[in-house]
Structure 1
Amino acid sequence: MRRTIATVSLSGTLPEKLEAIAAARFDGIELFENDFVNYKGSAAEVRSMVADLGLTIDLYQPFRDFEGMPEAQYQRSLERAERKFDLMQELDVSMVLCCSNTSPLVIDDPELAAAQLHELATRAAARNLRVGFEALAWGRKTNLYGQAWEIVRRADHPHLGLILDSFHTLSLKDDPAGIADIPGHKIFFLQMADAPLLSMDVLQWARHYRSFPGQGQFDMATFLEQVLLAGYTGPLSLEIFNDVFRETPNRRIAVDAMRSLLYLESQVRQSLENSAPRDDTREKQRQRVLQRIELYSPPALPDIAGLAYIEFAADEASGEAFGKLLLQLGFRRAGKHRSKAVVLYRQGDVNLIVNAQPNSFARRRFDTHGLSVCAIAVRTTDPERAVGRATAMQSKRYDGPVGPSEQQVPAVVSPGGSLVSFVSSALGPNGLYEADFILDDEEDGAPDAGLEHIDHVALGLAVDQLDTWILFSRAVLGLEPGESLELADPFGLVQSRGVANADRSMRLVLNVSPGQRTRTARTVAAGGGVTVHHIALSSHDIFDSVARLRASGTRFVPISPNYYDDLLTRVDIDPGLLAKMRSAGVLFDRSPAGDYLHIYTESINDGLFFEIVQRVNAYDGYGAANAPARMAAQAQKQGQEVGNG
């Protein structure tokens, strides 16, 4: 399919937008009127600039408040249209978007609307132009695609067709199934926009919170599938109004945009290939789509089987200090890399790597931020397929230097610059480390603390990285997002959202803060926009683990006694368990599926910290209800240290 994007979707001047769109390998654009009006060059210059970049202008938009108007206003609108057509011919664009009327003067008369649109199409045809009619979700008389199609059908003009927009349909919870019954040749253009599910005025929702497919919560694949079943063969376009996107560097947003379309196409292709025929008509439609439309077909999603290791970038001093902390946490210094200044620490199934190799990718990219996580490695049966999937979805491959007999671990650069590496499951729990490290079986440091595996990794993100990471998690790693939550920090709000695979062997938590004073915002700023916020390690007996860790000198964030008094008012909890939690400083959360016990270590230089967790039964959250208690305790602890200093 041809892939296009509306210029309103990106930040920057018109030339900057066009360059970003071309760099992301789009085929064409929707030229938004304001982008042209505010550009200092002529229509001929814009046409030439677009062509020089290998693009086409597939749609000019919008033309507003036309159909169903009283005669005087209708005649003036025809004059407006003629001027618009003059400009379109200068730009070499053959279609204009006419959106449904929002004027208080509009008359509720589909026959009148059809007649007026027929005349508009007749005038467009005289110039070999076409008019696409779109139902706005906030249109005064026409806001559903079925209403718009009825008007187009009545108008019965070959140069008048329907423009469909997923946001306008799905935001109103209108059923897209009927689209498949519309003649495909009468659907002139298709715009796709996802969005989070919000309870607010639809106009404000549309103008500020749209997102690319895969970043929101709409069923985009079903919508596109219905349009293709109708027989549509035109461009697949994006029209996104989003305040954050307007402030974000447009090259990254353009890459996200292309990734979203490739991901969406692959979802629909898979659905069409695997769907069982419901009736003869739909089966013929399905076969026709598969034969006529070339939908994107990337390598399959990786079958992730948990986290293999987490790698930290550090200079010699910070690496040594961090190593001492890990020994205190019950890790052992398990080995030294055969060819690099890299050390492996292990406990249970947790593998942490500290990279102090001069001039390595880790040091070049992250050393300026002190101790930082530079790579997260996942286990998968086919690492090359996983990397192939990632690069097909617009991620950059990274291959680091490999010494004799060492394992090649393919990786890709994630949003923000850290690596996601893919380790073959066939290597087993030790194969990679036996190949790359000189292993040391001697026990050193504190006794094992009973920490078994990495439960989840929490990332702190700049606000403009959240949608990017949700799409990356879905399209590249196959992780699906959970509920979006707002958490109260003493200095602002933190938005938190978990992403995980189906069997929960890999979980990430994405945290952003719109303000600048929260702990999340400060650590993100120090980490250059993306940082690992904390790492959660699982224990089957959290009280035993905490006792061992305290004995070895590990310091935990102190929790207010008031927390435990309040817990009794909120949860029906065994008094004995409550007493143990109070004594140990452990927090508690409960869902219908199970319980969650957890505790946080003090942070390293007001940055990274660890969480010790125990999941009981099928608890599937992250203890979000306790985040305010943790953040308040951290803020109070920092205040005490500043005061004592």
Structure 2
Amino acid sequence: MSTPLQASAADREAIQEAANPLGLDGIEFIEYATAKPQALGQVLEMMGFRPIARHRSREVMLYRQGGMNVIVNAHIPVMPNGAQPADKPMLAAVALRVRDAAAAYAHALEKGAWAVPPRVEVMELNIPAIHGVGTSRIYFVDRYDKFSIYDVDFVPIPTVEQHPPAVAGLHFFGIVQYIGTDRTEDWAEFYRELFGFIELPAEQRFGILPKGRILRSPCPASSRFYLQLIEPDASVLEVESNEGLQRIGLGCPDVLAAVAELGKRGVEFVESRGVHTEDRGALTKTWMGSVSFELVHNLR
């Protein structure tokens, strides 16, 4: 039998483990699927990303700025129900940094997640994944410190800086997910049970588009990110009802400075009666029918 002091210490450890069951440590990469990779690449470059590597065997490009990695995938998947490249880019996957990828994968399956069958080719890593919203995937990555997944699967572009600095301190802040009517509780439970996300109070909001429900990842503060779940607005006719990842949120210490710097690169921001740039946040215009970025004030 343990003493009260020992029990207290054990309880604290259990609480800490339950708070972050997978050892989440931020976002490793976000992936777009598109049939027009060059056009999407131009958009990413305006936003400060730089192409740094090509996949060894597929039509896939890696873009980076600061600590953010974005993958542009124009490879036609061989699996059914995968995100098919189309003219209109779609957010096809998000990779989460975890303590142990195999353990995280097993935990997710135990909690009811659906496995994505691996399709690994020669000289490629097997990165475990589960099904996310719509046709998207959620990958688990535990190689992100001294050794990364890109060291195996990608070939660096010669003479290109492999770690270009972030524009105005940009970093991953979160992802906006559109969900079906009355599906908020279902998706909140999905992220809570599988990953340990915590729902924020209704009055705690970020940026300039405070709709839906905000979930906070259990990551350390230095790598924390958020998910915003938004149901369709029933008051609007012909509401988009398809569930899927909608846009990327980028944090920055000074929104107005970031807007000014990105404006020099050709990025335009939405200025309307309902949405306009301010020190809390800003929203870029939409490119290629689906690609936009939301800036949010965040000191990290």
- TM > 0.5: yes
TM-score (norm 1): 0.39
Q: Is the CA contact 1:600–1:609 (under 8 Å) kept in the aligned structure 2?
A: yes
Name the counterpart of 1:599. Answer: 282
Is 1:587 aligned to residue 300 of structure 2? Answer: no
Cα deviation 1:450-481 (Å, max 9, x = unaligned): 34320111111111432221111011111011
Amino acid corresponding to residue 215 of structure 2 in structure 1 = V
Q: CA deviation at 1:517?
A: 2.5
SS at match of 1:427: coil
Q: CA deviation at 1:406?
A: 2.4
Q: CA deviation at 1:501?
A: 2.4
Name the counterpart of 1:439. Answer: 156
How many residue pairs are counted as aligned between the two chains? 278
Q: CA deviation at 1:553?
A: 0.6
SS at match of 1:381: coil
Output the aligned Cα RMSD.
3.4
Cα distance in 2 for residues equivalent to 1:338 and 1:363: 24
Cα distance in 2 for residues equivalent to 1:325 and 1:362: 29
Amino acid corresponding to residue 252 of structure 2 in structure 1 = S
Cα distance in 1 for residues equivalent to 2:283 and 2:69: 19
Name the counterpart of 1:341. Answer: 59
- Which of the residues 225, 247, 268 maps onto 1:506? 225
Cα distance in 2 for residues equivalent to 1:603 and 1:431: 32
Cα deviation 1:217-241 (Å, max 9, x = unaligned): xxxxxxxxxxxxxxxxxxxxxxxxx
Q: CA deviation at 1:439?
A: 1.3
- Which of the residues 292, 305, 328 maps onto 2:25? 305
From the superposition, tell whether residues 586 and 463 of structure 1 become closer, same or farther in structure 2 (CA, over 3 Å): same
Alignment of 1:337-416 (within 5 A): 337-361=55-79, 364-367=82-85, 370-416=88-134
SS at match of 1:305: coil
Q: Is the CA contact 1:495–1:513 (under 8 Å) kept in the aligned structure 2?
A: no
Q: CA deviation at 1:547?
A: 2.0
From the superposition, tell whether residues 371 and 479 of structure 1 become closer, same or farther in structure 2 (CA, over 3 Å): same
TM-score (norm 2): 0.80
Q: Is the CA contact 2:133–2:245 (under 8 Å) kept in the aligned structure 1?
A: no
Amino acid corresponding to residue 114 of structure 2 in structure 1 = K
Alignment of 1:456-471 (within 5 A): 456-471=174-189
Higher relative contact order (CA 8 A, sep 6+): 2
Q: Is the CA contact 2:270–2:277 (under 8 Å) kept in the aligned structure 1?
A: no
From the superposition, tell whether residues 484 and 611 of structure 1 become closer, same or farther in structure 2 (CA, over 3 Å): same
Q: Is the CA contact 1:481–1:498 (under 8 Å) kept in the aligned structure 2?
A: yes
Q: Is the CA contact 1:555–1:601 (under 8 Å) kept in the aligned structure 2?
A: yes
Bigger proportion of residues as helix: 1
- Which of the residues 209, 212, 221 maps onto 1:496? 212
From the superposition, tell whether residues 515 and 616 of structure 1 become closer, same or farther in structure 2 (CA, over 3 Å): same
- Gaps of at least 5 residues in structure 2 are 1-9, 13-17
From the superposition, tell whether residues 443 and 552 of structure 1 become closer, same or farther in structure 2 (CA, over 3 Å): farther
Name the counterpart of 1:609. Answer: 292
- Gaps of at least 5 residues in structure 1 are 1-273, 277-297, 488-493, 564-584, 589-596, 618-645
Q: CA deviation at 1:559?
A: 4.7
Name the counterpart of 1:537. Answer: 250
Cα distance in 1 for residues equivalent to 2:80 and 2:27: 19
Q: CA deviation at 1:383?
A: 0.8
Alignment of 1:100-139 (within 5 A): none
Q: Mark the structure with the bigger radius of gyration.
A: 1
Cα distance in 2 for residues equivalent to 1:388 and 1:539: 35
Q: Percent identity?
A: 24
